[in-house]
Each structure stands twice: as structure tokens, then as C-alpha cells.
Structure 1
Amino acid sequence: MKIKFKLISFFLLLTGCHSFLDVQPELQVDEAQAITNASTAEAALNGLYNRLGSDGYYGSNFQSLVYLSGGDIQWTGSQGAPQEITARKLTADNSYVSAAWSAIYRTILQANYLLETVPTLADPLLTADRKNQIQGEAYALRALSYFDLVRGWGGVQVVLKATRTPSDNTGITRGSADDTYSQVLKDLTAAEPLLSATTNRNKVTRKTVWALRARYHLYRQEWDQAETYASKLIEDSNYKLAKPYSAFFANNAVATPESVFEIAYSNSFKNGNYNWWLPPALSGRREWAPNDKLVALLNDPNVGGNRKELIAQTSPPGNLWYGKLYYRTPLGTDPAYVIRIAELYLIRAEARAQLGKTAAALADLNAVRDRAAVPAAQAATRDALLLAIETERQVEFPFEADRWFNLIRTGRVATVLGITDTTKYVLPIPNSEILADKALVQNQGY
């Protein structure tokens, strides 16, 4: 793939800075100059997190593909690329798709450099434990990257070696979705023993891996393991559902006990989501907006409850609804939420429902509903529970890139959104990548 088969500059490798990503993402230098000691290894690890939070990935484009595909978010602007997404007319030249694909593979590329280079360093400041931690974080973030690729595009090319020359890693054929999921599990399994079992909401720890494994096993319909790994977090007193719902994001809150893993931003490393959600009066463009259906659900005291704090209206005469999860001053300093404890409760609820543990599943679902100040659900059968959990996810994570993938994995997208063409359940591979690598085959239907 073109973006993977270029070497990256020393500064770009270490920082992952937004301005350089946007302007000149494919500069080439000798990679051997980049990670040579403890300080450059630490800088490169920070750059890996910046890659994860870049505009193309969790800072905007990847999330927007899910928002705009899921049926609850409308596009109010005039650009062609997002209009294609909401109109279900995606093409392989869509710039949002290309930006997300490239950003995810850049994240994988940086993880590969760390995994190959850090074990060889002989700096006394880089202890064995610290080397393990860095490698564990790289494995886990590579796992997350491949997980997001397989959710979005199906089976992909699995690249596990660093790219030191433009010809490296060319000619790799696409694996199946099962192959890609298998690599996700391999990386999570490799990461777990290398990481400390501490609580850190902005960096990967062993607990982060447990949370990602719970999500992984849910997608693979491995209910026992999904329940087991979700329980590890739920039973940890360091994590709890924030009350009221807005407590995890309102009043400039960061890294609350609600968060298992969130990406931190700052004045020099900004989260681009605010620009698309906030109205012009609040220095945004409001080109992603909750549609009438979602507004009604969030404002329904029996469904949304206090989750209505996620949205607000502009002043008359416009009276336009907008999302306010991303709102902070300075602009762009909001966290991006990768996984919260609420998701672990709903993962365990679904796993338990599938295992026939109806009462326990209902208790997990109602824990999330209680936090949102909505009446307890009364679902008494497996099917009723699964539908209740689906609706709960819809109003619990409307601005966290969940809805589309959730409907795809449960086989509900045709019923809920009316999309019966199964070729549209995955995204197109960017045309530029197809042209650059003859081994890369386009998804059917594009």
C-alpha cells in the first residue's frame, strides 16, 4: 500500500504532528536515524499515540465514517465526500475513506518500527521493564488498528515488519477477515504479559488490553470470553459509571473513572471533531448533526434520560440541534473516547444474554440505564434483551463511532437501515492504494 511503503521523516516518526501529517506525510530518510536510544524511543512511542489520535483516525475521519454511516447523524454541509457516505453512494475515490485508511496504516507502521527497534537498543536508561512496556503498548495499538481495519474494510493486508525501503512489504495479498481478526488476537495476547496491570486512562496497560479483548470476543461471538474479560474491568474499583451521565465529559472533565482508554489532546495536538459538531456561534461548522430521530431518543426521559446533555440547540431563529461532546476551550482539547466502562457493561450484558444468563444480563443493562436516570428495562427473553441492548448502545455512544459497526456485526443493518446490498457493509479500498500495489484487490461492489 502506497502509504505504508514510504519511509517517514525523523521528526514525523517521533511526533506524529498534525500539521506535518496534513502537509507532507511521506518524506523519506534513513529510518535507522530515528530510534537509537531511550529518549528517541519514548518520543516515538508518544508519536504512536499521536498517530492514533490524528485527524485521519480517532481525531476525525475514521470516526466520521462510522457517524455518517450509522443512520443517526446527518450531514449539513456541501462537500461531496461526506455526502457520498450519508447517501450510501461511496466510491473508492472518497477522501474520507482514503484519509482514514492511510492514518490507520501509518499507526501500524509506527508500531512496527517500535517493535523491531526497541528490543535491540542498548541504552542503560531503557530498562528491561520499560522495553517490555513500550513493546506491549505497540502490540496493543497495532491490534486496535487492525481491529478497526477489519471492522471497516474486511480482511486486509497484514504488515508486521518495518518499512525501511520503498520496496519493503510490497506484494502482500489481502488476508480474509478471519486472518485479520486472528492477528488482532495475536497482538493482544503478545501485549498482555508485557504490560503493567496499572490504571492509566491515556496510555495502554494490561487493563486496556482486557477491555479490548472483551470487545474483540464480542465481535467474534465468543460469549464466555467476552463476559470474562468485561468482568475484569467491571469488578475493578478503579472503573465505575459516572453519575450523572455528563460527568465523564462536562465541565472539562478528563480521565474520569468512566474511561478505560481515552486519547488526550492539547493546544499543540488538537482533536478535530469539535470543528464538525459545534455551530458557527461556537467556532465550529456544524456539518455533522444529530438527526430528528436521535434528538427525539435523547430527549425522551424513558430512553435518553440525562444523556440529553449530549445535545443542545442554537438560539432562535435557527433552533438547530448540535452535538456537544466536543466543546472545550481551548478548542480541540477534548478527549477522544476509545472505550468506556459503560461499553464493558453492555458487552457483558449481551454475552450473558447469549449464554442464557437472563437475570444477570438484565442487571448489567439496568446499571447503564440507572446511570442515565431512565426506568429499568423489563426484558425477559434473549431476543428482547438483545434489542434493548441495541437501543441502549444507540443512545449511550451516539458520538463515539459505535452504531454502524454494531449493526453490521449483529446482522441488523438491513432491518434497521434498509441496506440490503451486503457489498456496502464494508468500505472501499482507496483507488490510490489499488493503483500503487498490484497485490491489493478491491472490495466487491466498488
Structure 2
Amino acid sequence: MRTLKYIYSIGLVALLTSCANYLDVKPLESISDTQTIYDKTSSETAIRGVYSALASGNYYGTTFQSIGYLSGDNIQWTGSQSQVQEFINKKVNAENSTISGAWTAIYVTINRANNVLTKVPTVTDPLLTETLKNQIIGEAYFIRALAYFDLARTWGGVPIVTKPTASPTENRGIGRSTQAETYAQVLRDLEAAEPLLPATTDRYRATRKTVWALRARYHLYQKEWAKAEEYATKVLTDSNYRLLKPFNTFFASDARGTQESVFEIFYSANEPNAHRNQWQPQTNGGTRQWAPNDAIVALLNNPTIGGTRSTLVAKDNQNRWYGNLYYRTPASDPSYIIRIAELYLIRSEARVNQDKITDALTDLNAVRDRAGLVGITASTKDDVLLAIENERRVEFALEPHRWYDIVRTGRAAQVFNLSDANRYVLPIPAGELLIDKSLVQNKGY
């Protein structure tokens, strides 16, 4: 694994056909590194390359998301690879190829964003208007913020690289920042992105509203309750976003880009989303390598808990349950990064932590109502927090939230029976330690 942390600018403008849909620009051939970004067209090509990296199979296409839900307690592994079972057992080794693939993909994304942030500001093409230039730069800041957020919550502190990497040795010796410093980089990038982006609504491309949504999540993780509430409210008060009834409206019948979606990744028949193959059973052309476990199937099928969210699971011809969020043929299913339901539950949690119990219940019950459930009438802070935790489990049953939710709330020992706090972050991939002796492994690995 020689292309791990220090990703070259090679492939900067490698394109996914699907990503052309983001910018309505036809795909271009790859161009040399010496002239990667020099005019309007190459600037647009470069930002398309950043989205392509975000959508890649090892990032939001499949691998990184699988870390989030396999590490929780909703999913079972039906295959034979012991490395995947390590996540379910909460005993991940540094040699695990999944963490290596995700780490590499995230740093590829960061490096492409760094190229945009370094080179686009210097472009003088009159066709690249100031508004468009700002938008492209703002998108790169947003995606880099998301990438460092994912690194921080998964591995803790990581090396922070903010300049393009032109060779595999260029950034060796940087060492790791702390988790707090990594999260601080996230906030800096979000603050830089916000004024540059348009205040428009776009489900596939970062806008100012997308920044607000990620800031709400960021402040929730930081336990900055007032800020989390503030930024969630910015999105929730926008009429372009709303909860849809019934629950499966946002994904069933080939739906995409609905009002439920704040930010999702577009895929196509030419550039499919590999998630579908892992979830669907053999009779549907998949492998069913991972599947909902008995516990989440029971919760989803309980009419007082799952409600209409039972449509997330189905049975195959062998009477086995499988996840049905990703189902399309060909596999053009979107990857859902932020949904409006998450903003309601973020604000609910932020409000209850400010002792605004009535308002917190209003947000929680909005999500429950959308699932066809009656409202909760809990009256104590602890009861409402537990209700939110339980609601998030079923609302995002097949999405990569559960592991991170339980870790960030300090409940991993009780919920996962995981008392070793060293295991709340994953090990730095072993290959990274081999190629850069300045890196230090996480404790306990």
C-alpha cells in the first residue's frame, strides 16, 4: 500500500460520469498535472474530481459507510472475511484492509480539494466569474471539512494536510494532530465555505445550506448545544426541506433528490453505487454480504417502534431478511449523507440538553409522526435523551450513524458492552505507520 496518506495529485481530475450531473458539464479527459487548473473549464473539471473522490467506492460509495454501520449493533456479516467481522466484534486490527481503503480514499478527496483551493484562486480566465470561482472554492472547503470530520470521528487526531501533495514523500513527517485540532480544522473550513457558497437549494452539490447542516452535526458532536440548535434551525425553517410521508418516499420507486434530502451523492448506471450489491440477496443479483440483524428487524417490524420504517427490510426466497435501502437495478441508488430527519433529531438532542424539553419533544415527535407513530410524552431529560437515541437507531437503521452516536454520547460501555475506551476510535492503518515513522498508533492497538 504505497498510495496511502500522501496522495499524489495524479488522478486529480479523474472523472466519474455521474459527477457530470453535479455541474452539468460534460466529462473531460484527464489532463497533466502541470496544467491541471488554469481556466474555467479545468476549474469545473477539478471540482468534479473532488465530488468523484467523495463518491468513490472506498469513501461514501461503500467502504467508509460500512465502518459506521458494521461497527454498531444493527447489522450482521453473512460472509466469510474475518476482517469485516472485526467491526461487529469491536476488535479491529491495524492491518484491516477496510480501514486502509477508507483512509486512503478520504485523503485522496482531501488532496483533490487542496488542489482546487490552491489553484482556482489564481485562475484569471474571464469566463470564470467571481461568483463561480467563489462557489467552486466554497465547495472544496465544504468537502474537505466533511473529510476531516469523518477522519476525526473515526480515527481521532490525524495528520492535517492543507496543501496539494505532488509526491508520495512530500508530506512525510507531519505527524498527527489531536482530535480537537482536527475538529478545529473542520470548523475553519466550514466557516470559510459558508460566505463563498450560494444560498440556494441543491441536493447534490454543496451550498450555504449544506454547510449549515454539517455545522449542526459538527456542533452536536462538540456538545455545543446552542450552536447545534441554531444551525439545525437554519435548515429546518427553509421550506425547501421537509419530512415526507410515508417514510420510504425519499428512496422508494427510484426516488432521488427529494425534499427529505439535504445532501446526497448521485450515481448512475455507468458509475453505480456498490452498496446495492452488498445489501441485496442473491435472487436480486446481490451477495447479501451484510444484513439487518434480528434485533433491528424486530424493532423495525414493531408497529409501535418502527412504524412505516419497516419498509427498510424485506425477505428473500429463503425467508432471510435483507436491507432494502439500496435496491435499484442498475445500481444507481444515491448515498444519503444528510437527511432532514437528522436535523430534527439533532435539534431535539440539542434542545433537551438545554432543558428545553417541550421543544425537544416537538422535534422528536415530528420524526415519529412521519413514521406513523404516536408522540412520546417523556418528561425527564434522561428519558428524552434515551428516546432520541432509540429513535435515531431505527430512523437510520441502515445508515452509518449508530456507532458514532453511541460513542459520542459516552454510552458505548452500556450499549455495546465496550468498556475499553481505546476502541472508541479505530487504529491507524498499519501501512501508514510503515511509510511514515512520525505517525504514532492509537492507544491499545
- Give the TM-score of the pair, scaled to structure 1: 0.95
The one of 189, 192, 200 aligned to 1:190: 192
The question of whether the paired residues in 2 share the 8 Å contact of 1:5 and 1:170 is answered with: yes
CA RMSD in angstroms, aligned pairs only: 1.5
The CA deviation at 1:122 is 1.4
The question of whether the paired residues in 2 share the 8 Å contact of 1:278 and 1:322 is answered with: yes
- 1:263-293 deviation per Cα after TM superposition (whole angstroms, max 9, x unaligned): 0001222211111100000011001100000
After TM superposition, the structure 1 = structure 2 runs for residues 198-217 of structure 1, keeping only pairs within 5 Å, are: 198-217=200-219
Partner residue in 2 for 1:129: 131
3-state SS of paired residue (1:250): coil
The question of whether the paired residues in 2 share the 8 Å contact of 1:119 and 1:131 is answered with: yes
3-state SS of paired residue (2:76): strand
> What is the one-letter code of the residue matched to 1:15?
L
Instruction: Tell me, yes or no, if structure 1 residue 47 matches structure 2 residue 46.
Output: no
Instruction: Tell me, yes or no, if structure 1 residue 258 matches structure 2 residue 260.
Output: yes
Q: Supply the distance in 2 between the matched residues of 1:40 and 1:131 (Cα, whole angstroms).
A: 12
Partner residue in 2 for 1:399: 398
The question of whether the paired residues in 1 share the 8 Å contact of 2:75 and 2:292 is answered with: yes
Indicate the percent of aligned positions where both proteins have the same amino acid. 55
- 1:187-221 deviation per Cα after TM superposition (whole angstroms, max 9, x unaligned): 00000000000000000000000000000000000
The one of 280, 285, 288 aligned to 2:287: 285
The question of whether the paired residues in 2 share the 8 Å contact of 1:307 and 1:396 is answered with: yes
The CA deviation at 1:50 is 1.2
3-state SS of paired residue (2:336): strand
Q: Supply the distance in 2 between the matched residues of 1:440 and 1:32 (Cα, whole angstroms).
A: 30
Partner residue in 2 for 1:75: 77
Q: Supply the distance in 1 between the matched residues of 2:126 and 2:34 (Cα, whole angstroms).
A: 19
The CA deviation at 1:321 is 0.2
After TM superposition, the structure 1 = structure 2 runs for residues 65-214 of structure 1, keeping only pairs within 5 Å, are: 65-214=67-216
Question: Structure 1, unaligned stretches of length 5 or more?
Answer: 19-27
- 1:306-356 deviation per Cα after TM superposition (whole angstroms, max 9, x unaligned): 0000000012xx2000000000122x2000000000000000000100001
The question of whether the paired residues in 2 share the 8 Å contact of 1:277 and 1:288 is answered with: yes
| Number of residues of Structure 1 aligned to a counterpart in Structure 2 | 433
Partner residue in 2 for 1:25: none
Instruction: Tell me, yes or no, if structure 1 residue 63 matches structure 2 residue 65.
Output: yes
Q: Supply the distance in 2 between the matched residues of 1:14 and 1:29 (Cα, whole angstroms).
A: 9
Partner residue in 2 for 1:328: 328
Question: Structure 2, unaligned stretches of length 5 or more?
Answer: 19-29
The CA deviation at 1:398 is 1.2
After TM superposition, the structure 1 = structure 2 runs for residues 309-388 of structure 1, keeping only pairs within 5 Å, are: 309-315=311-317, 318-330=318-330, 332-388=331-387
The question of whether the paired residues in 2 share the 8 Å contact of 1:7 and 1:29 is answered with: no
> What is the one-letter code of the residue matched to 1:5?
Y
After TM superposition, the structure 1 = structure 2 runs for residues 400-415 of structure 1, keeping only pairs within 5 Å, are: 400-415=399-414
- 1:359-400 deviation per Cα after TM superposition (whole angstroms, max 9, x unaligned): 000000000000000121111111000000000000000111
Instruction: Tell me, yes or no, if structure 1 residue 15 matches structure 2 residue 11.
Output: no
- 1:8-27 deviation per Cα after TM superposition (whole angstroms, max 9, x unaligned): 435x5331689xxxxxxxxx
The question of whether the paired residues in 1 share the 8 Å contact of 2:7 and 2:111 is answered with: no
- 1:127-180 deviation per Cα after TM superposition (whole angstroms, max 9, x unaligned): 111110000000000000000000000011110011123332221111111100
The CA deviation at 1:124 is 1.5
3-state SS of paired residue (1:240): coil
- 1:69-122 deviation per Cα after TM superposition (whole angstroms, max 9, x unaligned): 101100000112202222222111101110111011110000000000101111
Give the direction of change, closer, same or farther, for the CA distance of 1:255–1:390 in structure 2 (3 Å limit): same
Q: Supply the distance in 1 between the matched residues of 2:423 and 2:16 (Cα, whole angstroms).
A: 32
The question of whether the paired residues in 2 share the 8 Å contact of 1:14 and 1:45 is answered with: no
Q: Supply the distance in 2 between the matched residues of 1:361 and 1:87 (Cα, whole angstroms).
A: 34
Farther off after superposition, 266-275 or 236-245? 266-275
3-state SS of paired residue (1:339): strand
Q: Supply the distance in 1 between the matched residues of 2:46 and 2:326 (Cα, whole angstroms).
A: 27
> What is the one-letter code of the residue matched to 1:376?
G
- Give the TM-score of the pair, scaled to structure 2: 0.95
Q: Supply the distance in 2 between the matched residues of 1:357 and 1:78 (Cα, whole angstroms).
A: 48
> What is the one-letter code of the residue matched to 2:278?
W
- 1:34-65 deviation per Cα after TM superposition (whole angstroms, max 9, x unaligned): 22221121111111111111111111111111
Farther off after superposition, 85-94 or 131-140? 85-94
Q: Supply the distance in 1 between the matched residues of 2:57 and 2:211 (Cα, whole angstroms).
A: 24
Q: Supply the distance in 2 between the matched residues of 1:44 and 1:340 (Cα, whole angstroms).
A: 27
